[in-house]
Amino acid sequence: MMDFWIILTGTLVAATCGILGCFLVLRKMAMVGDAISHSVLPGIAIAFLLGGSRDSVLMLFGAAVLGLITVVLIQLLQRSGLQSDASIGIVFTALFAIGVILISRNAQHIDLDLDCVLFGEIAYVPWDSLIWNGYNLGPVAIWMLGGTFLIVLITIALFYKQFKICAFDPALAAALGIPVALFHYLLMGLVSLSTVASFESVGAILVVGMLIVPAATAYLLTDRLGLMLLYSVIIGAISSTGGYYMAKLFDASIAGSMITVCGILFVLTFLFSPSHGLISRWTKRQQMRGGNLNQVI
Amino acid sequence: MGIYPLEVDNLTVAYQKKPVLSSVSFRIPSGKLIGVLGPNGAGKSTMLKAVLGLIPTVGGSVKIFGQSYKESRKKVGYVPQRESVDWDFPTNALDVVMMGRYGHLGWFRRPGAKERRIAMECLAKVGMADFAGRQISQLSGGQQQRVFLARALAQNATLYFMDEPFAGVDATTEKAIISLLHELREQGKTVLVVHHDLSTVKEYFDEVVLLNGKLVAAGSTEETFTTANLQKTYGGRIAMLQDVTNASDRSDEAEVSGESSPRRSKTARRAGKAGKSSMTNAADGVDIPDEAEGADVPLGAVSRT
């Protein structure tokens, strides 16, 4: 059962992040996901200080607020003329630093381990069960991640066409009367939510891997957005399962192994993808060259 | 006539305190093809975006069929510049055209069989039916432009805004676009086109709007597209302009003059490019034919002075 809970947790994180990651990658905003995942730290710390306990809902709320503040700040800096990558770098490191100070200053009062926030500890997931009326309903993390996954899935399914057109052609979307800014912040809100829900299990840093790598891998495998979403979920699930057993084999960090497997899948796809892979492109080029040569002869 | 498809009144737009358009006022009659002309940075695309409510305005008003843009949105079709989107996006031509229907679908309805059928018809109208399932990055520049036009057709509008549809397209596509524009006009629709190639203005457009940060002139091509007005619009590059108006005055006489002038205007455009925003950069390099090199030499010298 232990194995199952851990793998399920990893898969839920990967699936949630994979879906959102596709839109981040397509909108060339992958690094905004990175920024959010870091800058939620002060939100978590403040929620912790206020609540005095690891109350998940309060932490979720604090982090989600910080996530949105991050996005707004980045956009403010960009609009005032700063480059987008510089704006992202300034905002998230500054907020992250504040979070680090908050946690280290209050380390004696609060039981919040910085290592745990940064790298997560998915192995502890099965121990923290949700008890309701004396019944053990399974790990808290599963409920939280499952809920987040459902929220993301339903939102994306309901507004699929809006998210799609906002990613492809925001100008037309706006001209058609689709509230582009609303969907931008909705996407960012979902990213914040998923990041926070995931940080306890895979950590604030590795969640970035789950946001970007499965989506980037899926991007290399298909020319259809719908399939890209599906593939990124499948790749995430394979990474979680594979990563868990790899961690067992090498007695290593589970979350680290999951992202490593994900990275290996990306490299394999990058090399061997039938449509966009390095090798298939190379052979196509060779064939074309050969064909041309034959025509000449 | 009464209601105009588009009435722009005192429109002023600024980017970070720098005015791009100041107090532009004009109105366009219905059922015409209108060319919006002006040098780079004259605010042509900006005006289009302001009219469509895509960028904030500092002042002035825009009326479309006597209403605000919000109220008349479904009557308006828009073709953005081709370079404004990422053509590596994982989708195919048919899918892009279907996006033109999204405005008619409301918040929750998904595009279905009806939207598919309309999109296929629109693709057929621009001669792209065979490419419906093609990944959009596998299309040539001209084909991508035609997909964009098909998408605008799918919007089923009565007033169309097109931002440089002729930029960087091949001759086949240019012909396809023109015949499509004529078809739209025959259906009584109004099309506003941001255009660069001065040599084709007389041939393509019934009306012109000349912009240079402010409105220089607007009206029928015959009365408005004059050397004097063009001088006001384009400033010092007179040699080229006289050439163009002469060339188009001799309109029927030949491909030869018609062929040489677009290069000249483009060269001049390049020369006058300093301080230009990135909007048209990509297209500029592409659509200058190789044979133009010879013709470029004297003109380059002129525009440098």
Give whole-number Cα distances, B282 to B58, B59, B83, in Å.
29, 31, 7
Chain B residues in contact with A164 by the CB 8 A cut-off are 91, 99
Task: Map out the domains of chain A as residue ranges.
Answer: 2-131+159-292
Residue in B with minimal Cα distance to A177:
B103
Mean pLDDT, rounded, for B101-122:
86
- Give the pairing of strands B33-37 and B6-15: unpaired
Q: Say what the pLDDT of residue A107 is.
A: 64
Q: How do residues B123-135 score in pLDDT, each as one tens digit?
A: 988 888 888 888 8
Closest chain A C-alpha to B20 CA, distance in angstroms: 17
CATH of domain A2-131+159-292: 1.10.3470.10
Give B6's strand partners: B28, B64
* B91 closest CB neighbour out of A162, A171, A225: A225
The minimal CB distance from B80 to the residues A162, A172, A219 is found for A172
For A149, half-sphere exposure in the C-beta direction (CA atoms, 13 angstrom radius) is 19
Length of chain B: 305
Question: What's the pLDDT score for residue B274?
Answer: 38
**Which of B49, B92, B110 has the CB atom closest to A223's CB atom?**
B92
- Chain A partners within 8 Å of B89 (Cβ): 26, 167-168, 225
pLDDT at site A117: 67
Whether B176 shows a pLDDT value over 50: the answer reads yes
CB-based burial, A254-274: b 16+ in 10 Å, e otherwise: bbbbbbbbbeebbeebeeebe
Domains of chain B are 6-236 (3.40.50.300)
Element housing A88 (H / E): helix A84-105
Question: Could you tell me which residues come within 8 angstroms of residue A151 by beta carbon, excluding any fewer than 6 positions away?
Answer: A190, A193
**Which range is least confidently modeled, A162-166, B53-57, B136-140, B301-305?**
B301-305
| Alpha carbons A44 and A196: distance in angstroms, whole number | 8
Q: Which of the two residues, B279 and A288, has the higher pLDDT score? A: A288
Bridge partners of residue B252, in order along the sequence: none
pLDDT of residue A296: 55
User: Does the structure show a pLDDT above 50 at B164?
Assistant: yes
Q: B267: pLDDT confidence band, cut at 50, 70 and 90?
A: very low
Quote the tokens at residue B59: 């002042």
pLDDT of residue B64: 83
Mutate to test the interface with A, among B73, B102, B108, B135 (most CBs of A within 10 A): B102
Chain A contact set for B76 (CB, 8 A)? 175
**How many angstroms separate the CA atoms of A216 and A234, rounded?**
13
Query: CA torsion sign, A24 to A30 to A35 to A38?
Result: positive
pLDDT of residue A261: 93
Question: Residues B157, B158, B161, B167: is their CA dihedral positive or negative?
Answer: positive
CA distance B23 to B92: 41
Contact (CB<8Å) A177/B135: no
Direct distance between the N- and C-terminal alpha carbons of chain A, in angstroms, rounded to an integer? 67
For chain B, give the percent of residues with pLDDT over 90: 4
How many whole angstroms separate alpha carbon A123 and alpha carbon A9?
10
Residue A217, pLDDT score? 94
The SS3 of residue B289 is coil
Please give the backbone phi and psi of residue A90, each rounded to the nearest 5 degrees, phi first. Answer: -65, -50
Whether residues A171 and B78 touch (CB distance < 8 A) is answered with yes
Amino acid, single-letter form, for residue B87: W
Mark yes or no for CB contact A26/B91 under 8 Å. Answer: no
- The whole model's pTM is what? 0.80
CB-defined contacts A:B, below 8 A:
72
Q: CA separation (Å) from A5 to A12, A126, B184, B245?
A: 10, 6, 61, 77
Q: Is 70 exceeded by the pLDDT of residue B287?
A: no
- Identify which has the larger pLDDT, B242 or B25: B25
What is the rounded CA–CA span in Å between residue B133 and residue B204? Answer: 32
Q: How far apart are CA A205 and CA A253, in angstroms?
A: 14
**Nearest-CA distance A32 → chain B (Å):** 19
Amino acid B257: pLDDT: 37
Mean pLDDT, chain B, as a whole number?
Answer: 75
**In the numeric block, which tokens belong to residue B293?**
């090199």
Q: Report helix, strand and coil shares of chain B as percent, to nearest 5.
A: 50, 20, 30
pLDDT band at B251 (very low <50, low <70, confident <90, very high): very low
Residue stretches of chain A with pLDDT short of 50: none
Residue for token pair 């063009």: B230
Q: Point out the residue among B16, B70, B78 whose CB comes nearest to the CB of A172.
A: B78
Give pLDDT tens digits for B5-62. Answer: 888 887 888 877 778 878 888 888 888 888 888 888 788 888 888 888 888 888 888 8
Report pLDDT for B262.
41
Q: Worst-scoring range by mean pLDDT, A194-208, B68-82, B87-101, B249-263?
A: B249-263
Determine the pLDDT at residue B288: 35
**Distance (Å, whole) CA A258 – CA A131:** 29
- What the block records as the tokens of B253 is 């006489």
Smallest Cβ–Cβ distance between B80 and the set A169, A227, A228 belongs to: A169
Q: Do the chains contact at A169 and B110, CB–CB below 8 Å? A: no
Of residues B173 and A290, the one with the higher pLDDT is B173
DSSP state letters, B252-292: GG-HHHHHHHHHHHHHHHHHTTTT--GGGHHHHHHSS-TTH
